[in-house]
Amino acid sequence: MTKEPGEIALMAESGRLLAEVFSRLDRLNLIGMSTMQVNDLVDHFIVDELHARPASKGQYGYAYALNASRNHVVCHGVPSPAEVLQDGDIVNFDITLENNGYIADSSKTYLVGEVSPLAKQLVRVTYEAMWKGIKAVRPGARLGDVGYAIERHARRNGYSVVREYCGHGIGREMHEPPEVLHWGRPNTGLVLREGMVFTIEPMINQGRHAVHTEADGWTVVTGDGKLSAQFEHTVAVTRHGVRVLTLRADERMPN
């Protein structure tokens, strides 16, 4: 379950490359682009420019380099040439990248054009909630502490946390133990140890936490049709705290 320092170094390199993918997306004007166009751009950038592999492609029979989850889609949104991003949308791009045998996983919710104040607030609080969870990571802490920090921040702001999907261990495989819930009670769950590597990826809903999966077998949407947002980083437990392996150039660990 724990990784050696050399393995974490390789995962950090995968994370650095994945951060470059998001930097590339940051420069796009997403209005009028289809989610399939974004997928194809990401696929090309990872393969032809970074000389790495889109790890989601072929995983569990999935055919694409990313998930594109727009507005009321919670997660696992399938890119489509018919889904065109519009002014006022929010959209999460969830991307995994494998390099030298090790996988990094990250996601970011983008504001497309002029977004409503309520949507902006949801996205901001979701980003903050992810960081609340990350800051709870240290040797001797427990996974319940991570989930509690996330859920407390979401609930204080009037939102709910999706319970059916969670973070996960990661390394040579995309999904490894442990499961990392985004809700929980302090001082419960697995004790964290130096060398553990996992994702923290809360999905926060504007309305109720209930979700359902659409007929394609992939796309998960809010049960009440309200907005959902998500952010994700891959993190490693260090001797004294936590290291974010997928940290982007525009980010800093909050105090």
Does residue 1 register a pLDDT over 80?
no
Q: In terms of pLDDT, which residue wins out, 252 or 66?
A: 66
Report yes or no: 174 and 103 within 8 Å, Cβ to Cβ. Answer: yes
Q: In terms of pLDDT, which residue wins out, 250 or 18?
A: 18
189 confidence band (pLDDT: 50, 70, 90): very high
Does residue 255 register a pLDDT over 80?
no
Strand ranges (DSSP E) for the chain?
53-54, 66-70, 73-75, 90-99, 102-111, 160-161, 167-169, 176-180, 197-200, 203-205, 211-213, 220-222, 228-230, 233-237, 242-244
**What pLDDT was estimated at residue 242?**
98
Question: Whole-prediction pTM value?
Answer: 0.97
**What pLDDT was estimated at residue 105?**
98
The residues that bridge with 244 in the sheet, in sequence order, are 235
pLDDT in tens, 80-122: 999 999 999 999 999 999 999 999 999 999 999 999 999 999 9
User: From CA 205, how far away is CA 159, in angstroms rounded?
Assistant: 6
Alpha helices in the chain (DSSP H): 5-26, 35-44, 117-135, 143-156
User: From CA 205, how far away is CA 154, in angstroms rounded?
Assistant: 9
Does residue 254 register a pLDDT over 90?
no
Q: In terms of pLDDT, which residue wins out, 99 or 255?
A: 99
- What's the mean pLDDT in 139-154? 98
User: From CA 8, how far away is CA 28, in angstroms rounded?
Assistant: 31
